[in-house]
Amino acid sequence: MADDWARWPEEFERRYRADGYWRDETLGELPRAWARRSGDATALVAGDRRISYAELDAEADDLAAGLATLGLAAGDRVILHLPNRAELVTVLFALARLGAVPVLALPAHRRTEIEHFARLSDAVAYVIADRHEGFDYRDLAGELTEAVGSLRHVLVAGEAGPFTALDAVAAAGAAARRRGEAAGPAGASPPGARAPDAGAPRQDPAGVALMLISGGTTGKPKLIPRTHRDYAYNARASAAVAGLAAADVYLAALPAAHNFPLACPGILGTLGAGGTVVLAASASPDVAFRLIAAERVTVTALVPALARMWTDAAGWERPDLTSLRLLQVGGARLDEGLAREIPGALGCAVQQVFGMAEGLLNFTRLDDPPDLVATTQGRPLADADELRVVDGEGAEVAPTEVGELWTRGPYTIRGYYRAAAHNAVTFTSDGFYRTGDLVRRLPSGHLVVEGRVKDVINRGGEKISAGELEEELLAHPAIAQAAVVGIADETVGESICAVVVPPPGAEPPGLGQLRGHLVERGLARIKLPDRLVVLDALPLTAVGKIDKKELRRRLDR
Ligand code: OOB
């Protein structure tokens, strides 16, 4: 993996370690320490399963041993494509124990995305649920194993069909462990040493622990390599900022493969604090409200579109939300009016979170004055987060002026995985990540997100790359030119508008047909256009590029 991703330069490594951001820890060994601390306490609630910390640790060991028996080893990439089920957590830790690297695909992803991730990472295994929300992932797995030569294993949470059941993997691992053959590495051994009951050496805290999916840049989605120690810091520091303690119960309502519910503080931060994580199969108010009341949930995280839905639903459903103390809202800009409405409607405090899977996280603090909480997207998590707000030439703008946000720090990546050409434009030579977000920085250090320069549509918190969708549109025989723009939308913030030009004499597709065509091609439904506009020609800028500003202006009328 070493050449596939960019480490921090040595002087930064030294500083982040000396200043206590980075500890000598790996994700795989965390559950061992947690089990010692809070063994009998409930770590996870998923469907009708309640899993204690001790059981979580043992299950990670069994799965790690079973995966090793299948031939999985350190450095192997594995696509983890699971909805919010217990296996997402147990397999994540099992892979980390082995040193195999999970790629966290979103449940909504389909063949186009998964095939891209599998090829890009040379993944050897694909971990799926049997079915979720009416979709059978085993069918997709069948297509993928035929198309992608590197994929040797399909492992299924639930009914395995023609593939291998994760339950069987765990059982085989448990048996092997009883025979003393293979096991997950123990937590406390020094680097390089073999743990007493282990088949694998201890992982390097500086190595890649998992890969997240980029929130849409140019072209195809990128993989974001997060290391053990930077991600452990990410979760721990986020937990502190959200005031998490052992008494807290966190509801993972958003898909847990997203950075926000996974580690900001989300699942990892809650477990680190000794609390309980409740996994919701859906973020809909009826499912979530029932879980909040039944499990006495104290904290959860939503995107603004869902926060709107919950706030409205609470008005007529009158759910018991008395246990809820904090709602984190992030992923897209939260409207000030809604921010002020939430405490009354849901009976909890709001924490705005402006984050990115690439790293940097900003939070409003629990003791910030209500006006700051309602009107800003928070301030950086770490003192070591370096921020520049720059103009089009890369020069810092005057304080409180709007500019593009560039950042580097102890949990912000220095480059995407296997993306040298893209990295050369997305990162500065001194290691700053160009976020593509336009922000204004207040004297307090709080940021206000004012827009963006990247060509991405933020539809209800899901990021859609205009370039990726345009490429898909151009593959349609009756589309000669295409441009994708976001249009302001009350429910989802921005909706996806496809503007197309048919070739001379051709009949352009209708919206329904076009959506069907894209689904047929294997594109995730979250990327389907909401609106289709057919033009004779696209407006161009003076240098002959598609003029999206002008397009948006015309569509807004
Ligand atoms: C989160 O991560 P991603 O990677 O899906 O998307 C990052 C992008 C940011 O660059 C920004 O454009 C937008 O999403 N964004 C926001 C925002 N939070 C994210 N825009 C306005 N206001 C906000 N509060 O979305 C993410 C990762 C970790 C925690 C929270 C969100």
Going by pLDDT thresholds of 50, 70 and 90, the confidence category of residue 524 is: very high
Same-domain check for residues 242 and 317: yes
Same-domain check for residues 385 and 504: no
Cα angle vertex 441, ends 436, 444, to 5°? Answer: 145
Average pLDDT over residues 116-127: 98
Same-domain check for residues 425 and 465: no
Domain boundary residue, one of 452, 475, 504: 452
Percent residues over pLDDT 90 in the chain: 94
CATH code of the domain in which 183 resides: 3.40.50.980
Residue 247: pLDDT over 50? yes
Domain boundary residue, one of 452, 486, 519: 452
Same-domain check for residues 463 and 477: yes
pLDDT at 557: 73
Residue 2: pLDDT over 80? no
Going by pLDDT thresholds of 50, 70 and 90, the confidence category of residue 507 is: very high
pLDDT at 199: 55
pLDDT at 218: 77
Residue 263 and residue 270 in contact, taking contact as beta carbons nearer than 8 Å: no
Prediction ipTM score: 1.00
pLDDT tens sequence across 329-383? 999 999 999 999 999 999 999 999 999 999 999 999 999 999 999 999 999 999 9
Same-domain check for residues 168 and 247: no
Residue 217: pLDDT over 80? no
Same-domain check for residues 474 and 510: yes
CATH code of the domain in which 490 resides: 3.30.300.30
DSSP label at 192? T
Residue 465 and residue 216 in contact, taking contact as beta carbons nearer than 8 Å: yes
DSSP label at 238? H
CA distances from 492 to 4, 121, 526 (A): 36, 32, 12
Same-domain check for residues 399 and 313: yes
Instruction: Report the DSSP pairing between strands 359-363 and 349-356.
Output: antiparallel
Going by pLDDT thresholds of 50, 70 and 90, the confidence category of residue 182 is: low
- How many Å separate Cα 474 from the centre of its chain? 28
Whether 28 is in a domain gets the answer no
pLDDT at 19: 98
Higher confidence at residue 194 or residue 216? Answer: 216
Domain range holding 460? 456-556
Same-domain check for residues 442 and 551: no
- How many Å separate Cα 58 from the centre of its chain? 26
Whether 203 is in a domain gets the answer no
pLDDT at 197: 46
Q: Which residues line ligand 1 (CB under 6 A)?
A: 215, 259-260, 264, 330-333, 352-357, 361, 377, 435, 437, 449, 452, 458, 463
CATH code of the domain in which 424 resides: 3.40.50.12780
pLDDT at 219: 83
Total number of domains constituting the chain: 3
Task: Compute the distance from residue 361 Cα to the ligand 1 centre, in Å.
Answer: 9
Whether 33 is in a domain gets the answer no
Residue to mutate, 267, 354, 389, ligand 1, most ligand atoms under 8 Å from C-beta: 354
Same-domain check for residues 171 and 242: no
Percent residues over pLDDT 70 in the chain: 96
Same-domain check for residues 528 and 493: yes
Task: Compute the distance from residue 344 Cα to the ligand 1 centre, in Å.
Answer: 25
Domain boundary residue, one of 435, 452, 469: 452
Which ligand 1 atom sits nearest the alpha carbon of residue 462?
A: 5
Residue 185: pLDDT over 60? no
Residue 187: pLDDT over 50? no
Whether 46 is in a domain gets the answer no
pLDDT at 193: 38
Going by pLDDT thresholds of 50, 70 and 90, the confidence category of residue 192 is: very low
